Structure 1
Amino acid sequence: MEHRHLGRSGLKISEITYGNWLTHGSQVENDAAVACVHAALDAGISTFDTADVYANTVAESVLGEALKGQRRESLEILTKVFGPIGPKGHNDTGLSRKHVLEACEGSLRRLGTDHIDLYQAHRYDYATPLEETMQAFADLVRAGKVGYVGVSEWTAEQLRAGHALAQQLGFQLVSNQPQYSMLWRVIEGEVVPTSRELGISQVVWSPIAQGVLTGKYRPGAEPPAGSRATDTKGGADMIKRFMDDDVLTRVQRLKPIAGDLGLSMAQLAVAWVLQNDNVATAIIGASRPEQVHDNAAAAGTTIPADALARIDEVLGDVVERDPARTLESSPKQREV
């Protein structure tokens, strides 16, 4: 497993991050979740990503239990704040000072740690002044409860404003966590160039496009039993944008490219996002340990230029590139 610097900071994280969205506390049983975390550790993964909103805080608790007994200094634990948690009361969501400080305490308790390596604003909060949010993050950094601060799915303009405030308050904004894959490239036009300028890395989620880029979904066929496309707890909703026969047909045509490189389809997808030098790490999820080992093997892989060109030719116009799609990610009104 190789490691990369996170933004313009001295912190290094593993090229592959294990994430537990839609799995821990929801899609898989706890013993399977623990087995996947241990498989990640065995594969050399040192970075683990979660969020308080995942399974309404349960995912953090499962991850904390799974990491119990590990040397804390050898791990990088990432979590996020924004989404509605607990009983979903009027202050149980957003990026107000009250919610950020209280949510951090809850995450520390559930994760069983005294500090969070990277604390991320899960979305942009239009209902709270950015100055209030960034001051709360600054105070957590000074208190030693948070090492570094990042965001998720922020636009280039929002990144620029957040970065400027962070500098004024004496800390670094080091990362952004966007969706990014061969099929979803909306960050390339604006977010990535701005991030390079500001010294911000991408911590990308869904590099396998919710499993579509494994090739297991075939055009005109029913989804495999137990797959994300059949998950009624949220997985099916997230994957449906890719469940189009044209998309699935083109993905099948990637198999010879992966084969020529000696890679599985999942490895090709993960390695593809890591070719972008602004990407610090690719977050993988898994319901079985063997999936972790397969995905982790993509670390350190270089895809030749001719293969990258073939991928672009095969996928053609099914790739989503519109930068405006990032703006859609943050709700203009809070859920509660």
Structure 2
Amino acid sequence: MRYTTLGASRLEVSRLCLGTMNFGRHADTDASHSVLDAAHEMGINYIDTANRYGTADRPHASEEIIGEWFAKGGGRRERTVLATKVFEQTDPWPNNGGLSALNIRRACDASLKRLKTDRIDVYQMHHVDRLAPWDEIWEAFETLRAQGKILYAGSSNFAGWHLALAQASAQDHRWRLISEQSVYSLARRDIEREVLPAARALGIGIVPWSPLAGGLLAGRGDGVRRTDAATLAASEKHRASLEGTQRLAAELEVEPAALALAWLLAQEGVVAPIVGPRTADQLRAFAGVPDLDLDDEAQARLDALWTGPGVAPEAYAW
């Protein structure tokens, strides 16, 4: 496994991030623990979850399952860079969602309890809250850091200008964002226009979610997601690009999914794509991805197959 630092921090993370959205939904506790054990065996130390990953009858399943895994001991917690999120509504009563100071502190304590740990290494805002003043947000984060409950701050689903505002306000509170989770893949390159350039300039590492575009780029990957109506429609829309990607993957003797992930890792500012397997074997299939270095020709062919939006303002102005 290869490692890098997360944004402009000294925190070292693996070049693949284990996403745990499937825990409790498509993987039961035993299967989820097998995936977590396999991650450590592969050298993956970066594990991402959220306080609302679960099911209707068990809405916090992912955090709970990870907490049960940590409780097994054996250095599991000590070897993990743990990231979770706050924003989603956890109760219909007011102040149980969003980024108010009250909810941030309340949600953090609840996550710590479920995760059976004393700290969250990277506490992430799951979405921008347009009603919450940045001073209020950072003061809440500051209190949690003083209490030893969180170490670093991250964001998810922010626009470029949100990152700029957040980072400017953070400096007033001796804070900074070190990561941004954005949807990003060969098939979804929207963030290249403004989010990615902003993140690079501000020292924020990009952590792509849905790096295989919901299974579209998985090749012979999991059949469940690739047979839903939306994915089938996308497959037809992008047929030529998919066929070209498959030909290139065959020439390089790699799976299409590995090629798509390697392309992401080659993009400046990208730290670690989030992979969310349901089984340990699915995770192990990605073991060689961080060592797959694409040459200029391979990257140029993929760029031609999957055209990006360009960088602002040149993308739409002179």
TM-score, normalised by the number of residues in structure 2: 0.90
Q: Which amino acid aligns with 2:12?
A: K
Q: Which runs of 5+ in 2 are unaligned?
A: 313-318
Q: Which amino acid aligns with 1:48?
A: I
CA distance in 2 between counterparts of 1:82 and 1:178 reads 15
Q: How does 1:104-119 map to 2 (within 5 A)?
A: 104-119=108-123
Q: In structure 1, what is the equivalent of residue 255 of structure 2?
A: 264
Q: In structure 2, what is the equivalent of residue 213 of structure 1?
A: 217
CA distance in 2 between counterparts of 1:253 and 1:75 reads 38
Q: Are residue 77 (structure 1) and residue 82 (structure 2) matched?
A: yes
Q: How does 1:143-222 map to 2 (within 5 A)?
A: 143-216=147-220
Q: Which has the higher contact order (CA 8 A, sep 6+)?
A: 1
Note the C-alpha offset of 1:138: 1.7
CA distance in 1 between counterparts of 2:239 and 2:24 reads 29
Note the C-alpha offset of 1:291: 1.1
Q: Which runs of 5+ in 1 are unaligned?
A: 218-222, 231-235, 324-336
Q: Is the 8 A contact 1:184 1:321 kept in 2?
A: no
Q: Which amino acid aligns with 1:191?
A: V
Q: Is the 8 A contact 1:115 1:146 kept in 2?
A: yes
CA distance in 2 between counterparts of 1:13 and 1:300 reads 15
Q: How many residues align?
A: 306
CA distance in 1 between counterparts of 2:74 and 2:152 reads 21
Identity rate, percent: 33
Aligned partner of residue 192 in structure 1, secondary structure: helix
CA deviations on 1:249-293 (whole Å, 9 max, x unpaired) are 421331121122232111111111110120111110001211101
CA distance in 1 between counterparts of 2:209 and 2:241 reads 21
Aligned partner of residue 63 in structure 2, secondary structure: helix
TM-score, normalised by the number of residues in structure 1: 0.85
Q: In structure 1, what is the equivalent of residue 225 of structure 2?
A: 228
Aligned partner of residue 285 in structure 2, secondary structure: helix
Structure 1's consecutive aligned runs of 4 or more residues displaced over 4 angstroms after TM superposition are: 239-242, 319-323
Q: Is the 8 A contact 2:217 2:242 kept in 1?
A: yes
Q: In structure 2, what is the equivalent of residue 61 of structure 1?
A: 64
Q: Which amino acid aligns with 1:40?
A: A
| C-alpha RMSD of the superposition | 2.1
Residue 322 and residue 198 in structure 1: after superposition, are their counterparts in 2 closer, same or farther (change >3 A)?
A: closer
Q: In structure 2, what is the equivalent of residue 141 of structure 1?
A: 145
Q: Are residue 12 (structure 1) and residue 3 (structure 2) matched?
A: no
